[in-house]
């Protein structure tokens, strides 16, 4: 996927960041957690998982959902379930960080858009309520069944609920989108936002993702697929990307938001710039739904497209924030894709998976890793891959094992490869006016 047309020259920068993760309730806490090598994985507390084969996850603990929900207008409060509340909090932080005042008359709402990577809730009662309505034998029973469905109940469970809430919050009347491609959702949502600014359809885009799969059905589904780690007795060591003893990924929840802006627009209002989103590429594997291609072909296409879109040579890449889920197949496939994309230079590039600390935030994973990539550029620090202890002959690159590094980083690739075969790669670089 590449940009064409008269607005290709429009540069897209990031002026605001916000996050809620298992290692921090905002972007600064999350970044500090990465520098301290803090792991947010522990025993599941949100429901009784004592009989489950996997009993660990990356939960957001100690976060006051009601306090955040109370900040929202009444009509928005109705759609803020757990994951959407994380997204709402991250968006408030990102907008404040960007210096954008809500309802500011100087900002044209028709030039602002929202792009989210997320999905609807799975515990929706609407089918049950609808069935009850159909079973009603009298008009009175039908009316009673219909009255049992609150006005905002459908919207609360809809995949676009978060986009609705955030567009209402900021008065955004520009391009809107909700993307649900599993682990690639929010990286593709960021890519969509980039395209809308480049094309001239928007000056500002709020982009990111939100996730919470902490309920029995979803956890048990991933257990049945054999995808989750079973290191229940040692949660902090469960997520071990690229390690020879890895046995599966660890589900996590949270949200991350970025304010994307046309560079000239950001300059005119004196905004702080974290970095530039220089390239975006996406693809699909056309392989098995539950497996990653051993040759890395699908991920390779996304990485190549992102570099081409950015006009950057492989030898210019200073760091890769890997998808690195800690599953046997995914890590091997991504390693192969990196080798094929960068050639011999692949052995010189530091690569790390921050999922070793945050766990896998699924729909929000691409957004939080995009945020981390920008902070790597700004702070000159590369977070490590925790739990790198046993060599794997297939995964033989520099994964920054266990200890982070100070380094000058100008260009970063951030990879997201989704369950089902979707792929997305973003290229970030230091912004030079």
Please state, in angstroms and rounded to a whole number, the distance separating the CA atoms of residues 395 and 336: 8
39 is catalytic: no
Give the integer Cα–Cα distance in Å for 299 and 286: 11
**267 phi and psi angles, rounded to 5 deg:** -65, -45
Q: Do 25 and 60 form a contact (C-beta atoms < 8 A)?
A: yes
Contacts of 268 (CB under 8 A, 6+ apart): none
Exposure of 117 in the CB half-sphere (CA atoms within 13 A): 34
Catalytic hit among 25, 39, 341, 360: 360
The Cα angle at residue 117 between residues 114 and 119, in degrees rounded to 5: 115
Find out whether 263 and 405 touch, Cβ atoms under 8 Å.
Answer: no
Which residue in 39, 183, 282, 395 is the catalytic one? Answer: 183
Annotation marks residue 323 as catalytic: yes
- Alpha carbons 206 and 258: distance in angstroms, whole number: 6
Round to whole Å and give the CA distance between 174 and 132: 39
> HEC states along 339-406?
HHHHHHHHHHCCEECCHHHHCECHHHHHHHHHHHHHHHHHHCEECCECCCCCCCCCCCCCCCECCCEE
Q: Dump strand ranges (E) for 202-357.
A: 204-211, 254-262, 275-284, 319-321, 351-352
For the chain, the 3-state helix, strand and coil shares in percent, each to the nearest 5, are: 40, 20, 40
360 as an active site residue: the answer is: yes
Nearest in space to 238 (alpha carbons), one of 24, 395, 44, 368? 44
25, 39, 282, 323: the catalytic one is 323
Residues classed as catalytic: 183, 323, 360
């Amino acid at each position: 996927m590449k940009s064409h047309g008269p607005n290709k020259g429009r540069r897209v920068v990031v002026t605001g960041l916000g996050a809620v993760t298992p290692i921090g309730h905002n972007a600064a806490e999350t970044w500090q957690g990465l520098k301290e090598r803090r792991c947010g994985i522990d025993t599941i507390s949100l429901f009784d998982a004592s009989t489950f084969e996997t009993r660990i996850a990356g939960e957001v603990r100690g976060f006051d959902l009601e306090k955040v929900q109370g900040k929202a207008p009444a009509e928005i409060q109705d759609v803020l379930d757990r994951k959407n509340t994380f997204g709402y909090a991250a968006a408030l932080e990102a907008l404040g960080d960007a210096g954008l005042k809500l309802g500011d008359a100087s900002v044209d709402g028709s030039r602002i858009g929202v792009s989210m990577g997320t999905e609807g809730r799975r515990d929706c009662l609407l089918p049950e309520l609808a069935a009850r309505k159909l079973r009603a034998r009298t008009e009175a029973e039908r009316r009673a069944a219909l009255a049992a469905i609150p006005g905002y109940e459908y919207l609360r469970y809809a995949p676009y609920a978060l986009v609705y809430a955030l567009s209402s919050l900021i008065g955004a009347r520009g391009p809107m989108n909700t993307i649900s491609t599993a682990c690639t959702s929010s990286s593709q949502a960021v890519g969509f936002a980039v395209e809308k600014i480049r094309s001239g359809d928007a000056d500002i885009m709020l982009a990111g993702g939100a996730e919470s799969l902490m309920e029995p059905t979803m956890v048990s589904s991933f257990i049945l697929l054999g995808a989750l780690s079973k290191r229940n007795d040692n949660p902090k060591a469960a997520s071990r990307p690229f390690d020879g003893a890895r046995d599966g990924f660890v589900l996590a929840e949270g949200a991350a938001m970025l304010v994307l802006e046309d560079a000239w627009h950001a300059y005119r209002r004196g905004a702080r710039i974290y970095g530039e989103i220089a390239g975006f590429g996406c693809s699909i594997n056309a392989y098995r739904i539950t497996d990653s291609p051993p040759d890395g072909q699908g991920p390779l296409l996304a990485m190549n497209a992102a570099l081409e879109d950015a006009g950057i040579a492989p030898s210019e890449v200073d760091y890769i924030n890997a998808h690195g889920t800690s599953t046997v197949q995914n890590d091997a496939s991504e390693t192969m894709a990196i080798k094929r994309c960068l050639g011999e230079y692949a052995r010189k590039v530091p690569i790390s998976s921050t999922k070793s600390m945050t766990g896998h935030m699924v729909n929000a994973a691409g957004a939080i890793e995009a945020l981390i990539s920008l902070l790597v550029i700004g702070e000159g620090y590369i977070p490590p891959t925790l739990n790198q202890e046993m060599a794997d002959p297939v995964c033989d690159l520099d994964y920054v094992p266990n200890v982070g590094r100070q380094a000058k980083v100008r260009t970063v690739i951030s990879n997201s490869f989704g369950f089902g075969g979707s792929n997305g790669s973003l290229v970030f670089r230091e912004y030079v006016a």
